[in-house]
Amino acid sequence: MIGVFSEDANEITYLLNKVKLIEKKQFGEMVLYVAVLNNTKFVIADSGYCKVNIGAAAALAHYLYKLDHIIGVGDCGCLRSRGANPGDVAIAETSRQYDVDYSAIGYQPSLVVGLSQPQYPADEALVALAQEQATALEIPFIVSNFGSADRFLADGDEFYGLSQEFGFDTVDTETGALGEFAFINSIPYVYVKGVSNFGDADAPAMYEEYRHMAYEVACKVVYQMLNVLTGGGGGCTCTGGDPMSIPINISTYTEMTKTQIFEMLAVTPIARLCVAENGQPYAVPMAFRMKVRGNSIMFCLYSRAGGRKMQCITQNSKVCLEFDWMTENGVLSVVVTGKAKICHGNFTAACNKDLSAIEVTADSITGRIYPLC
């Protein structure tokens, strides 16, 4: 079951109003809501603030419902120089607890005694999904390393110093603790937080002014993620996985907008990878994942290392990806051109072992709508 975690019930009304609540369980000040979306149950935990509460909520929810995905939602402070603004979204790539310090007995700072590492990587697929949905919603975002402590940081110089020491640029009180819980229990996790302040002297005033907006944008992204994970498709206006709910005119040849393109990509299961072999085009359908990193967009495909397409890419890295969707009265088509890179690694899948990744960095993305003749 998917577990969604928030420290403040008053700030997740957007989520609670979007789903069907079927059960509410109260444990002291902590509340677990069992909800349904697309005929799939998941749990929303109102934990209360700080690390002990979020850890207790995670343990309780996992004990009761056996979590297979963890998604956190909330607000955060961001290093001013990172370039994010209040109301943007920060997606956790890693997290750590920077106030953990056992260095006096030989442990590196922020390493919890008994664990093998101080930093907890978020699940790549969940990070990519959060990026896709933020893009579809046209909400600016950054992918960030989070530092957590039981404190409200309001000193820009200290924030910068901690950033230099530990390598994080976003701060809050919960992500590191939830990341630790996910790491210990091998549960894929990601945290999606709206930026409410810069963690400097202006932070208290900014927090009061922007925290509600920060929570709202984070909840919007998380809701769309839930919609995808529970089988309902993705994108900001698509419903039921059908991109034809995008308001478009399909009676004539039309260029697709950026929003329409990303909404279609969010629900299209197959890409056609086109490579060149001694001047001869060669195309093959493949499953894919899309990653958005700042202004760069990357498509990840997986293949056996010795295949024909891999040999073609080795000789010529220029490739094309084509995505399409047929409707009753027209066809949507998206074409991506770019360069491919083969990344050999220990990738595995239940039905196909010993895979290598093909990473395609997009140079151009265009989309067109064709009416049926």
User: Can you tell me whether residue 194 is helix, strand or coil?
Assistant: strand
φ and ψ at residue 121, rounded to 5 degrees: -75, 135
User: What's the pLDDT band for 294 if we cut at 50, 70, 90?
Assistant: low
pLDDT higher than 90, residue 306? no
Q: What is the mean pLDDT of residues 149-171?
A: 94
pLDDT at 244: 43
Neighbours of 155 (CB within 10 A): 13
Q: What is the mean pLDDT of residues 1-11?
A: 89
Q: What is the mean pLDDT of residues 354-362?
A: 81
Domain boundaries, the chain: 2-229, 243-371
% residues pLDDT > 90 (the chain): 59
CATH class of the structural domain 2-229: alpha beta
User: Can you tell me whether residue 360 is helix, strand or coil?
Assistant: strand
pLDDT per position as a tens digit, 102-117:
999 999 999 999 999 9
Q: Which fold has domain 243-371?
A: Pnp Oxidase; Chain A (2.30.110)
Higher pLDDT, 176 or 293: 176
pLDDT at 340: 92
Q: Which two tokens stand for residue 61?
A: 């929810």
DSSP track, 240-301: TTBGGGS----SS-EEPPHHHHHHHHHH--EEEEEEEETTEEEEEEEE-EEEEETTEEEEEE
pLDDT per position as a tens digit, 44-70:
999 988 899 999 999 999 999 999 999
Indicate if 243-371 has the same CATH topology as 2-229: no
Q: What is the mean pLDDT of residues 75-103?
A: 93
Burial zone of 230 (CB within 10 Å; 0-12 exposed, 13-18 middle, 19+ buried)? middle
pTM above threshold 0.75: no
